[in-house]
Amino acid sequence: MKIGIICAPTYGGSGVVATELGRFLARRGHQVHVISTAMPFRLDAEPADEIFFHEVQTVNYPVLPGDLAGISIAGKTVQVAQDYKLDIVHAHYAIPHAISAWLARETSPSTPFKVVTTLHGTDITLVGRAPSFFPIARFAIEHSDAVTTVSNWLKDETIREFGITTPIHVIPNFVDISKFKRGLAPCRKSHYAPKGEKILMHMSNFRPVKRVQDVIRVFHKVLQEMPAKLLMIGDGPERDGAYMLAKELQIGQHVYFLGKQEHIENFLSCSDLMLFPSEYESFGLAALEAMSSEMVVIASRGGGLPDLINDGVDGYLADVGDVDTMACKAIEALRDDDRRKRMGQAAREKARSQYLPEAIVPQYERLYESVL
Ligand code: GMT
């Protein structure tokens, strides 16, 4: 098949899923065209793969204030669809990508590609809910030829929020376990923890939904029991607040704010525990990548996370905002190396048995075939 993929280039789960999907589809013999406003950071295809990147240029003109990227993406999609005779355009994220795909199809009746939309989470729970976007998001969902969500929780939210009656298919995210593997990537453990301290880690886009201050508060409690270091990976609006809190609690010297990192596998492979206290996560791809790296994840029960983590078996769950329980579980896991190792292995086994690309990518292929 000839498949166009529209996605965000930024450090976020939807862009990662879209580009990884593109890479695996290309590896399985499809011709893939990634359409985005910049090169997605994980689009490092094998030279032999038929994977093309099409950069969208937006127009900046003072008479037209605001972001016109959605329209530019539609224009680029028309061009790519006509040049390469695309069969499918797969939009990741409802606003603006699904509406750009729909607009491109309407603009170009001579290339009647099918539109598949994958909803990732905040496109429904935050962006799509905004009054100015709500009817557009609903329209985009209802006018896609097929719609998927990354979890049952997000499917239920979409139906509840938008009153959608057209079918929604649940296709979970996946992880490349050959890449997210303990011991594979270079580890600078002795640099961050020179005295053999335990390493905790958090990784996100530092949006309010991630509750990064809870990460700092949990770590503060852990530090009262044992020497430890915290790696904070990513960036976003809540970074300064987390930094200030660490200073206020006088633990700043134990916290490394490392900003956006391309090769997170290097950090996952040498950390002992991941903190993921989000308000909700539709899926929690970062948690899955940590599980694949044999890390114990301590997560909230928000959104679809309980579908991913089996409390006490391959990770731990606590109620949203319950910093005390998260800290207790973290201390328990960090004190008992054997137990942590066993749970880490169980986490990797779950990634291997349920979330392999070889099991998930064919589900998208079957969906494409069914709409064609
Ligand atoms: O986590 C974010 O805020 C980014 C967002 C995105 O679309 O890039 O992530 C969402 O999609 C990921 C990939 O499907 C999921 O793993 C994340 O759980 C989801 N985030 C939220 O639901 C908050």
Phi, psi of 54 (to 5 degrees): -120, 110
Based on the domain organization, do 230 and 142 belong to the same domain? Answer: no
Please report whether residue 366 resides in a domain: yes
- Cβ of 209 closer than 6 Å to ligand 1, yes or no, is yes
Summarised one tens digit per residue, pLDDT across range 277-299 is 999 999 999 999 999 999 999 99
Domain that holds residue 203: 189-354
Q: Give the distance (Å) from ligand 1 centre to CA of residue 14.
A: 6
Summarised one tens digit per residue, pLDDT across range 83-137 is 999 999 999 999 999 999 999 999 999 999 999 999 999 888 887 788 889 999 9
Based on the domain organization, do 282 and 232 belong to the same domain? Answer: yes
Please report whether residue 90 resides in a domain: yes
Strand partners, 54: 35
- Cβ of 25 closer than 6 Å to ligand 1, yes or no, is no
Q: In this predicted structure, what is the pLDDT of residue 63?
A: 84
- CA pair distance 57, 41, nearest whole angstrom: 17
Please report whether residue 184 resides in a domain: no
- Cβ of 128 closer than 6 Å to ligand 1, yes or no, is no
Dihedral sign, CA of 213, 218, 223, 227? Answer: negative
Atom of ligand 1 nearest to the CA of 121: 22
Total tally of structural domains belonging to the chain: 2
Summarised one tens digit per residue, pLDDT across range 14-69 is 999 999 999 999 999 999 999 999 988 767 656 557 899 999 998 887 787 778 89
- Cβ of 21 closer than 6 Å to ligand 1, yes or no, is no
Which residues lie below 8 Å from residue 69, measured CB to CB, with a gap of 6+? 37, 56, 58, 96
Based on the domain organization, do 206 and 57 belong to the same domain? Answer: no
Q: In this predicted structure, what is the pLDDT of residue 330?
A: 98
Smallest CA separation from ligand 1 atom 12, residue: 13
Question: Three-class SS of residue 66?
Answer: coil
Task: Assign residue 274 the CATH number of its domain.
Answer: 3.40.50.2000
Lowest model confidence (mean pLDDT) among 21-25, 191-195, 267-271: 267-271
- Cβ of 118 closer than 6 Å to ligand 1, yes or no, is no
Based on the domain organization, do 196 and 312 belong to the same domain? Answer: yes
- Cβ of 173 closer than 6 Å to ligand 1, yes or no, is yes
Q: In this predicted structure, what is the pLDDT of residue 47?
A: 59
| pTM of the predicted model as reported, rounded to 2 decimal places | 0.94
Q: In this predicted structure, what is the pLDDT of residue 30?
A: 96
